[in-house]
Amino acid sequence: MLTENKFSKYLVLLVSMLIISTAAQAQNLVIKGGWMVNVKEGIAIENPGITIVAGKIYEIGSPSMEFPVLRLEDQDYILPGLIDLHSHYHVRYDGVTKTDTVVTPKLFLANGVTTTFTAGDPNPELILEFKNKVNRHEAIGPRILNSGPYFGTANSEWNQDYTKEDIYNIVDEWVAKGAQGFKAKGISYNHLKYLIERAHSYGLTVTSHLGYGVDSKDAIELGIDRVEHFLGGEMLLGESNPYVEIANLDMERDSERIDDAMDMFIEHGVYLNATIGTYGGWSRTDDEAFEYWTDEYKYLTPFTADSIKRTDTLQQNIQPTIAMVYENKKLLLKKYFDKGGRVTLGTDRPFYLDLNLGNYMNGFFVHREMEVMTEAGISNADVLKIATLNSAEAIGWGDRIGSIEVSKLADFMVIKGNPLDDIQNTRTVHTVIKGGIVFDSEEVLKQAEGKLGPVSETEW
């Protein structure tokens, strides 16, 4: 048996083993000291002790069993692991999209993101393979809830003539492969109808990037569970580009249409995955949330770093409209939340070298997303709940993750300082526990340095 005095050496050895050999298993463990954030109630309490057995929270309070102890410092705060419901693992360069399983998963995990929903996969088979490696402890990364292929024209192999039987068969195939939700983009009304019907028959959720002839009113009437990016529906007239219409919205002049759209979401219990930060990054806002607190470029290959600096100068023509979209999205999000709308967290950060959405890396960006929500006027406590419990419930995993409760998976992030006082404290994450396995954030990040993106114009 290890005593608390001996555990510091044990923990260093354990973390080293986890980083060097990915064949680690969950450890029985007691966490003592520091503070625990209760996201349901929006409060922080002195940590009463958390006992982990076989990757789950066995008890909270004075431990009844003697296990190795992870002792936190007085300024440490333990939170549930963050959940990103619009995560992307792909990189696009010169028109070619590839899935990154080397750097992006480590950036997510090291930043406290213990669960991701992939929201449409350009290469669903590769994501499935990597997900299984992570589950077998053969690779380091967050828990991946994969969505299979895009349903709609975002999928280059999509057939607009698919029948109801075809859609059912595709859903059946990916459920058998372990998909844990579905994402539509560029989908027709009937295809969305068939997708929702079949996914719901398995108890799985459907989300969509709408437009392309199907708006949120249609999707909500069909029973969709979540909508990505925008409320849409009655709010937009459909007379021009949706980005232009959102940019030109006036909260007073258009209040009736805005209220009608929001009310429909709320009445049907549909979640909005706002992905608000990505529009801030795209617009090159000078909001404080987008300041760098660490060198994110060091995770890129030198060639990739030079490439995004060049493309940054080519995006000036999109900034005025996207900047107005971003500012209106903040106003809309606050109004929607205050009315009782359900909000989840998603970052939507595919890494495009040929369409620079702002030079910010996955993982780190989740902290910007949360801070932008607070800048919009949502309290720190509510934002933390959005990033954890709300997102867990929206994907149908509320009984397994999203809060620190007995019987849930032992998914935690440990930070310095109270995030209820300052949301930027979430940026200080130094230890992550996923399913009972302890990871040192700094060590995980070291493995990711200099590896994201092509090495040269021809080598990737």
Q: Are 296 and 361 in contact (CB under 8 A)?
A: yes
What is the pLDDT at residue 214?
Answer: 84
Beta strand extents in 221-302 (DSSP E only): 226-228, 271-273
| Residue linked to tokens 């039987």 | 165
Total count of residues recorded for the chain: 460
What is the pLDDT at residue 87?
Answer: 97
Evaluate if pTM is beyond 0.75. Answer: yes
Tell me which H or E stretch contains 120.
none
Measure the CA–CA gap between 394 and 398, rounded to whole angstroms.
8
Do strands 76-80 and 412-416 pair parallel, antiparallel, or not at all (unpaired)?
antiparallel
The set of residues, in sequence order, having a beta carbon less than 8 Å from that of 334 and lying 6+ positions away, is 376, 377, 378
Mean pLDDT by 10 residues, the chain (460 residues): 42 43 67 98 98 97 93 98 96 90 97 96 94 96 96 94 98 97 96 98 96 85 96 82 90 95 96 96 92 95 87 62 94 97 96 83 97 98 98 98 98 98 98 97 98 90
Question: Can you list the domains of the chain with their CATH numbers?
Answer: 4-80+402-446 (2.30.40.10), 82-146+229-394 (no CATH)
Query: What tokens were used for 167?
Result: 């859609």
What is the pLDDT at residue 318?
Answer: 56
Q: Are 353 and 453 in contact (CB under 8 A)?
A: yes
Query: What tokens were used for 117?
Result: 């929903």
What is the pLDDT at residue 312?
Answer: 66
- Of 53, 51, 55, nearest to 64 (Cα)? 51
Measure the CA–CA gap between 359 and 382, rounded to whole angstroms.
27
Q: Are 386 and 47 in contact (CB under 8 A)?
A: no
Neighbours of 156 (CB within 10 A): 9
Measure the CA–CA gap between 412 and 436, rounded to whole angstroms.
9
Question: Please, what is the Cα angle at 176 between 146 and 388, to 5 degrees?
Answer: 30
